[in-house]
């Protein structure tokens, strides 16, 4: 081959992929596409022998995240997406099309409520919001067009644990698919696929990433639905970037140790606040799994406690409109995640002005308890 010139050298300076032993840490395949040696080699992708063509379809880092969560959830397959929201959208569109009907819990993450209430209608998909506390009500909402039942395994922010088995039984009796948002429980505590869920979705922004440095989603489920969902992700272009997938995978490695510590700390904080006179009510699940009850604690501050002063008195505990990081954070659902929920529904759900949501981190148990009791005492 002839000697190349400056401009060509500028773009082709890198050495060829050498034959070498594998690196201990997974490399980041920060590439939009994959190269082929000749046309036969390219054809081999379409024949299923080569795995990668274009990163919007799939990439080794995003595959790691999707397949990793599928492994932990004991699902057939998984796909990583640009956010929890896009994972939810891809999952719904894999099941429901124009003219179909979806039944969703009325106690949902605010963004999901907005997606279902405002956007799905533009796809011709109708959504009914009902309380899942009484499954008779869910049953009565089923129509000929109902294709999907959607809920969260542990709800946000009131931390109600759904009776997943009963929901699955009801759905199966009517030939309806189920999709569960398992963000709060994580596969460490709960695996809805094992209970019969057809699709399970995660905001990997939360416990899977665990370090508040990545926005990502994951959808896992049965093969047939996942093939459809993967095609939606590629066509809608809501794939995850390789670097963010890599970060989420790095976070995932410590999911067990984080959840173990965070759940233990949360249990201790919930117990301590239960008896505090400045707390009217503690929302903490009685039972999620034998491994623990999760790391989220919500409280209604007593009427005499000034919410503004409380938030100002938290010391090292940061106010953040997210959850699940290694640091303990607090949020105010009324003005963040549930801002868009109509006031009447908010009141029905019990999301009031004294409600505070706490995401418990990995710090020392005593420090966490002291930070909260001192802030409440000051307020």
Ligand X SMILES: *Cc1c(COP(=O)(O)O)cnc(C)c1O
Residues making contact with ligand X (CB under 6 A): 83-85, 109, 111-112, 152, 156, 181, 183-184, 203, 205-206, 215, 217
Pick the catalytic residue: 181, 188, 300, 332? 181
Q: Which residue is nearest to ligand X (CB)?
A: 84
DSSP 8-state secondary structure symbol assigned to residue 127: E
Token representation of residue 287: 């039972």
- In angstroms, give the least distance from the CB of 86 to ligand X: 7
- In angstroms, give the least distance from the CB of 258 to ligand X: 16
Pick the catalytic residue: 26, 50, 52, 56? 56
Cα–Cα distance, 54 to 37 (Å, whole number) = 15
- In angstroms, give the least distance from the CB of 285 to ligand X: 14
Q: What is the largest CA-CA distance in the chain?
A: 82
User: Closest Cα to residue 274, out of 265, 284, 263?
Assistant: 284
Residues pairing with 331 in the sheet: 357
- Closest to ligand X by CB, 80 or 85: 85
C-alpha angle with apex 153: 149 to 156, nearest 5 degrees? 105
Pick the catalytic residue: 160, 177, 206, 232? 206
Residue 181 annotated as catalytic: yes
Cα–Cα distance, 258 to 168 (Å, whole number) = 29
Q: Residue with structure tokens 């060829």?
A: 16
Residue 56 annotated as catalytic: yes
- Closest to ligand X by CB, 151 or 279: 151
- In angstroms, give the least distance from the CB of 80 to ligand X: 11
Write the DSSP string, 208-232. Answer: TT-SS----EEEEE-HHHHHHHHHH
Cα–Cα distance, 204 to 343 (Å, whole number) = 29
Residue 367 annotated as catalytic: no
- In angstroms, give the least distance from the CB of 2 to ligand X: 51
Pick the catalytic residue: 63, 64, 109, 198? 109
- Closest to ligand X by CB, 276 or 346: 346
Cβ-proximal residues to 336 (8 Å cutoff; 6+ apart), any chain? 110, 321
- Closest to ligand X by CB, 215 or 241: 215
Token representation of residue 279: 């707390």
Catalytically annotated residues:
56, 109, 181, 206
């Amino acid at each position: 081959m002839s000697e190349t010139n400056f401009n060509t050298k500028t773009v082709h300076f890198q050495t060829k992929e050498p034959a070498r032993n594998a690196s201990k840490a997974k490399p980041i395949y920060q590439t939009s596409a994959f190269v082929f040696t000749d046309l036969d080699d390219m054809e081999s992708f379409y024949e299923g022998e080569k795995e990668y063509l274009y990163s919007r379809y799939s990439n080794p880092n995003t595959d790691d995240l999707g397949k990793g969560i599928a492994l932990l959830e004991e699902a057939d397959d998984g796909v990583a997406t640009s956010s929890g929201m896009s994972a939810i959208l891809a999952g719904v569109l894999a099941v429901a099309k124009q003219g179909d009907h979806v039944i969703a819990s009325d106690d949902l993450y605010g963004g999901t409520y907005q997606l279902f209430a405002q956007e799905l209608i533009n796809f011709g998909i109708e959504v009914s919001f009902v309380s899942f506390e009484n499954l008779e009500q869910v049953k009565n909402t089923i129509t000929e067009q109902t294709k999907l039942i959607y809920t969260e395994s542990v709800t946000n922010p009131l931390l109600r644990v759904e009776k997943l088995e009963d929901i699955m039984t009801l759905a199966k009796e009517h030939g309806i698919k189920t999709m569960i948002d398992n963000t709060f429980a994580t596969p460490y505590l709960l695996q809805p696929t094992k209970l019969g869920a057809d699709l399970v979705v995660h905001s990997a922004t939360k416990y899977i990433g665990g370090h508040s440095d990545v926005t990502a989603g994951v959808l896992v489920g049965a093969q047939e639905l996942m093939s459809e969902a993967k095609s939606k992700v590629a066509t809608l272009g809501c794939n995850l970037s390789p670097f963010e997938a890599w970060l989420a995978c790095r976070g995932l490695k410590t999911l067990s140790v984080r959840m173990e510590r965070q759940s233990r700390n949360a249990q201790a904080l919930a117990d301590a606040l239960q008896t505090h006179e400045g707390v009217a009510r503690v929302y903490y699940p009685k039972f999620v799994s034998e491994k623990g009850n999760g790391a989220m604690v919500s409280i209604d501050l007593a009427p005499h406690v000034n919410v503004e002063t409380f938030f100002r008195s938290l010391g090292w505990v940061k106010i953040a409109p997210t959850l699940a990081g290694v640091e303990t954070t607090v949020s105010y659902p009324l003005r963040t995640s549930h801002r868009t929920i109509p006031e009447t529904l908010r009141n029905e759900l019990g999301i009031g002005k004294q409600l505070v949501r706490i995401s418990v981190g990995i710090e020392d148990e005593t420090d966490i308890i002291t930070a909260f009791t001192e802030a409440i005492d000051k307020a």
